[in-house]
Amino acid sequence: MICETFPTEDALAATLGRLVVDAVRRQPSIVLGLPTGRTPIALYGELIGLTREESIDWSGVRTFNLDEFVGLSRADHGSYRAFMDTHLFDHVNVDPRHIGFPDGRAPDLAAECDRYEREIARARGIDLLVLGIGANGHIGFNEPADALAARTHVARLDEETRAGNTLWFDGDLRRVPHEALTMGMATILAARAIVLMATGEAKADAVRAMLDGGVTTRLPASFLQLHPQVRVMLDEPLAAAIRPL
Ligand code: GLP
């Protein structure tokens, strides 16, 4: 894994925004895998800004998001789909038919997971997948466990992960769903290139274990060590917290 450190979150977002925009320009029909969370908000801001300044055309771009809460749709403001509309999709000319999302309201969730995998396969897979990481080492909603699921599946969320998501539910933990649909580890590892962004001291232990520990289902992000094309982007406060004294 190539690991880079940036002085601030904004500097990280500027570099990653440039990387994504250049990839879109090079490959107008690129398939992007996209994350939600606090961390990528600055990235999406950069993408919107660069798109305006440089007239970037998103009409051929295909996107697939990593995950969505069970029971929520874009009409719920806590849904990841609503997040993506607010922070990116409403501001660029991506074709709504090209936006891939697992449907947390689907009546048959297992069938919905299969449909999502088929949709990704039909798009010939993900060219560039951007990831965040949870403080417990989760990616997407692949939580630490004895075994990890390979493909898109229904995941039960750890309490720590639910607590980390209260921001999208006006700080009310009771409203955070207990389950989500998420791409599985094989879905993630099948992406042709991966960039993981992480900021802030609270993620230092997870990032250290991801970079230097063994590959373990107890830290799902460690599986990224198996992928040949992963870039890890950190901000200085996080990097400083993992540096040996
Ligand atoms: C959620 C998402 C993850 C994300 C993580 C960290 O649980 N499912 O995809 O990486 O939160 O988010 P944040 O950037 O808010 O710390």
Q: Which of 9, 67, 103, 235 is catalytic?
A: 67
Give residue 52 CA to ligand 1 midpoint distance, Å.
27
Average pLDDT over residues 200-207: 97
- Ligand 1 within 6 A of 68 CB? no
Nearest C-alpha to atom 1 of ligand 1 is from which residue?
37
User: What's the confidence (pLDDT) of residue 244?
Assistant: 66
Question: What is the rounded radius of gyration, in angstroms, for the C-alpha atoms of the chain?
Answer: 17
Is residue 77 annotated as a catalytic residue, yes or no? Answer: no
Q: Is the Cβ atom of 137 under 6 angstroms away from ligand 1? A: no
For residue 123, the CA-to-ligand 1 centroid distance in Å is: 25
> Is-catalytic flag, 165?
no
- Cα–Cα distances in angstroms (integers) from residue 201 to residues 2, 59, 124, 204, 245, in the given order: 20, 38, 37, 5, 15
pLDDT at 80 over 70: yes
pLDDT interval class at 243 (50, 70, 90) = confident
The question of whether 67 is a catalytic residue gets the answer yes
Question: Is residue 245 very low, low, confident or very high in pLDDT (cuts 50, 70, 90)?
Answer: low
Taking CA atoms only, the protein residue closest to ligand 1 atom 12 is 37
Whole-number percent of the chain with pLDDT over 70: 99
Residues β-bridged to residue 198 = 234
Mean pLDDT of 160-172: 95
Confirm or reject: Cβ of 15 under 6 Å from ligand 1: no
Report the pLDDT averaged over residues 92-101: 98
Annotation says 93 is catalytic: no
Residues 31-55 have pLDDT tens digits of 999 999 999 999 999 999 999 999 9
Tell me the best of 83, 129, 131, 138 to mutate to test the pocket of ligand 1, counting ligand atoms within 8 Å of each CB and taking the most: 138
141 lines ligand 1 (CB under 6 A): yes
pLDDT band at 154 (very low <50, low <70, confident <90, very high): very high
Classify 124 in phi/psi space as left (phi over 0), alpha (psi -120 to 50) or beta.
left
Ligand 1 geometric centre to CA of 146 (Å): 21
CA distance linking residue 54 with residue 119, whole number of Å: 30
